[in-house]
Structure 1
Amino acid sequence: MSAETIFTSFDIKSVELANRLAVAPMTRVSATENGLATQRMVAYYRRFAKGGFGLLMSEGIYPDRLYSQGYAYQPGISDDEQAQAWKPVVSAVHEHGAKIFAQLMHAGALSQANIFKDKTLGPSAELPKGEQMGFYRGVGQYPIPLEATEEDIADAIAGFGQAARRALTVSGFDGIEIHGANGYLLDQFFTEYTNKRADRWGGDIRQRLNLTLAVLKEVKSVSGEKPVGVRISQGKVNDFTHKWTEKEAGAEAVFGALADAGAAYIHVTEFEAWKPAFEGGDDSLVKLARRYAKGVPIIANGSVTQLADAQKVMEEGADIVALGKAALANPDWPNKVKGRAGLTQFDFSLLQPIAHVKDEELA
């Protein structure tokens, strides 16, 4: 695959992207205490758009005023005031010719701070693995969550839909990404050891996807022509090496169901996007998504640093490659690569002890 391919345009439903390079969603904690986007965030996103990325995914945004908030100083879109605060961010991105999708994230049992509730919520009352992340001001074990009732589940689904409407009609985002990955609420329902339910929300891997599919249906119902995609993973922030026990059969069921449900794209994230997804297998999760998602565009994320990495991932079947740490280190990665300039290696000193970018990097 030629290097030029990555700089060709690509359409996701109604949205035309200037190239195949995206900034992965990276949850920062730079909002106000009550969840309003700030000028620091305008500067953060503007750099990526100015640097040549065709698509930006927002950090995880909490959708409701119930159990969804995950971190202190995380931005929300749970009311019109929060939605209005995102408008300068979206405008700054559009000024430089890039597009931006709002990633809606419900933290569920992994919530470390919530200004609306003092309890957490999960599919089952199971203690989450690991400990809270100090990077996001967490301390000690996660609490055991409340087991979600049918009313709680209905509220969560409705919250995603209402947040999507605000993101598209008030904030001006170009599309929506549903965060179904990395151990948060939708992934908790999707994972066998956190979902012990015997009702319609539990069961085998396809049945455990039911909440993600219900959220997708709800968000699509308010999105009009705007694209609605889903992010999916094996690993989690609190269980990095987790793998689907159903292996390729599970991948077939999951990617087929997402395609059948009308996902505008599927965003696959792995530690190294081009590596085999399962022990004893040869195919990456990207390749499996390409095989079973029936023509749905695939975005792939995972340890892409150099142009050669991006080419490798596209050869696996990705239509768009999303960069995380490499984008933090090189917010102008596309422009640098196009101009054959050297790339800066990611260093955690780019970040403060808390998960937001140093002020001098935003100047």
Structure 2
Amino acid sequence: MTQNSEIHPALAPGTVQNLDLPNRYVLAPMSRASATEGGVPTEDMAKYYARFAQGGFGLLIAEGAYPDTTIAQAYANQPGLCTDAQQAGWKQVVDAVHAHGSKIILQLIHAGAVSQVVDAPHGPSPVRPDGHMLQMYGTKQGPYETPVELSEGDITEIKAGFVQAARRAEEAGFDGVEIHCANGYLLDQFLTPETNLRAAPYGGSVENRIRLTCEIISEVRAVCSKDFLTGVRLSQAKATQPDYFWAGGLDDAAIIFSAVAEAGASFIHLASERGGYAYHSSTKDGARLTKFARETTGLPVIANGGLEDCDLALEVLSNGEADFLAIGKSAMMNPDLPNRIANRQAPKEFTFELFSYGVSVSSQMKWEAEQSA
């Protein structure tokens, strides 16, 4: 890390809404496909998340849970939050994290057209998503299917699913939820004009295309306690379209950021795909979206993309481009990253060998055991 400063700004305390955090490091949500076949989080998942709390992460965002049992699930062994058993499974995860003094929120995600498990995936319009299904995430492989167009009744049920999942999350002890409108999943499919050919109220203008996300945020805020965080994850890129940018640049961003803030979002988490922070936290012509989100809304902003790099993290925080740093792949290799930074230890470099036995937590533990043998 930079040696001319006694304390890196990433180690300074911060606040999201009314939640005080000991540092600016956030565990990014990562799909680990480690729940039971019925979507119940396991004891291994509780131990896995507890490692990040022990390692100094002030806030953890748990991997995306599906909010209904009909058409929301994205991949096999994904955790859900629609049943009592799933809620009980998540409670053991929350308790394990809280026991080490960290906070944890749950990402809620609806796959929509990119589901790899639903018999008939649904989406805003009958437009087949670009690209191919993700390997190691389910029995379905090959090109995505053309989805069934969602009816108004389907959309009402989807909103109700997010709301009931958020209520269950609060009952399980989570400190908040993150509504997932990113990376090519359902709410991002509504935001994206190429996959949303609908008319009003949920299609057409940017204001209409972000409407469903905003309605979910406001309805969750209405049923959960005032201190329960309800953030939103946004991205330009998709999992299968890493070079996608919002066509309207800052004009689109101004509408999107202002809309989610007005709906009651507690924070904005801007995700980056393979291009990293410098590439995808900016518009195509180079305007920095994270800083623009802070200036437009006054909300805390979580940046993402290679921010385990201490010099880059210093630049982002010192320049007022973001308030918090979400760490993904590097955190899998360094569950103690904040403690390492505090002790001026270099992080271990990420390697895809970590997935030698698969993407699940138990597969990672098997690989780690081999490395230490």
TM-score range normalised by the length of the shorter chain: over 0.9
Residue 279 of structure 1 pairs with residue 279 of structure 2: no
Give the TM-score normalised by structure 2.
0.92
Distance change in 2, residues 1:93/1:66 (3 Å): same
User: Counterpart of 1:233?
Assistant: 235
Q: Which runs of 5+ in 2 are unaligned?
A: none
Q: Could you tell me which of 105, 120, 137 is aligned with 1:101?
A: 105
Q: Could you tell me which of 17, 21, 31 is aligned with 2:21?
A: 17
Q: Is the 8 A contact 1:286 1:317 kept in 2?
A: yes
- Residue range with higher mean Cα deviation, 145-154 or 78-87: 78-87
Alignment of 1:144-223 (within 5 A): 144-169=146-171, 171-223=172-224
1:285-322 deviations in Å (ceiling 9; x for gaps): 212212212x1111111122321121222224211111
Distance 1:243 1:307 in 2: 27
State the secondary structure of the residue aligned to 2:326: strand
Distance 2:21 2:356 in 1: 32
- Residue range with higher mean Cα deviation, 41-50 or 10-19: 10-19
* Offset, 1:142: 1.1
Alignment of 1:43-122 (within 5 A): 43-114=47-118, 118-122=119-123
Q: Could you tell me which of 281, 303, 307 is aligned with 1:304?
A: 307
Q: Is the 8 A contact 1:24 1:57 kept in 2?
A: yes
* Offset, 1:81: 1.4
* Offset, 1:55: 0.3
* Offset, 1:333: 0.4
Amino acid in the other structure paired with 1:297: P
Amino acid in the other structure paired with 2:128: L
Query: Where does structure 1 differ by over 3 angstroms across 4 or more consecutive aligned residues?
Result: 1-4, 360-363
* Offset, 1:103: 0.4
Distance change in 2, residues 1:177/1:249 (3 Å): same
- Residue range with higher mean Cα deviation, 270-279 or 321-330: 270-279
Q: Is the 8 A contact 1:123 1:147 kept in 2?
A: yes
Q: Is the 8 A contact 1:273 1:313 kept in 2?
A: no
Distance 1:359 1:274 in 2: 32
Q: Is the 8 A contact 2:124 2:196 kept in 1?
A: yes
Give the TM-score normalised by structure 1.
0.95
Percent identity reads: 44
CA RMSD of aligned residues (A): 1.6
1:177-235 deviations in Å (ceiling 9; x for gaps): 00111110000000000000012100122221011011111111122121100000000
Distance 2:59 2:251 in 1: 31
* Offset, 1:362: 7.1
- Residue range with higher mean Cα deviation, 214-223 or 186-195: 214-223
Distance 1:313 1:28 in 2: 28
User: Counterpart of 1:333?
Assistant: 337
1:88-143 deviations in Å (ceiling 9; x for gaps): 111111111110001000000000014xxx21110001111001011313411111
Report the count of equivalent residues.
Answer: 357
